[in-house]
Amino acid sequence: MTLTVKEEDYADESIGRIGEYETVISDFGEMRDVLRLCGLQESIYEENWREKWVLDIDGQRVECCLDEWPDLFPYLEIE
């Protein structure tokens, strides 16, 4: 499991304006408790599945992520 926090800089109009921070979570219940202790309240629960593929194209690292969500068609995110 991965916890991801995205931070958008609205003053920056470039494509890279969103900061993304990820950490691997080994225990869902403990992470939920940590977030609650930080003052956050659970509003919804969503679960998705992701396959990540990494390509090296002419020395450039390209990540391709295939995401699947319940009741939606899979989609591909290329970074």
Q: How much is the pTM?
A: 0.55
Q: What is the pLDDT of residues 32-68, one digit of tens each?
A: 999 999 999 999 888 888 899 999 988 889 999 999 9
Q: Is residue 62 helix, strand or coil?
A: strand
pLDDT of 5 reads 85
DSSP 12-30: --STT-EEEEEEE-S-HHH
pLDDT of 74 reads 92
Of the candidates 25, 20, 21, which has an alpha carbon nearest to the alpha carbon of residue 2?
Answer: 25
Give, as one character, the DSSP assignment of residue 69: -
Domain that holds residue 55: 47-79
Residue 35: both structure tokens together? 């977030």
CA 51 vs. chain centroid, Å, equals 12
Are 63 and 36 part of one and the same domain?
no
71/39: higher pLDDT: 39
When divided into structural domains, the chain yields a total of 2
Are 40 and 53 part of one and the same domain?
no
Are 65 and 33 part of one and the same domain?
no
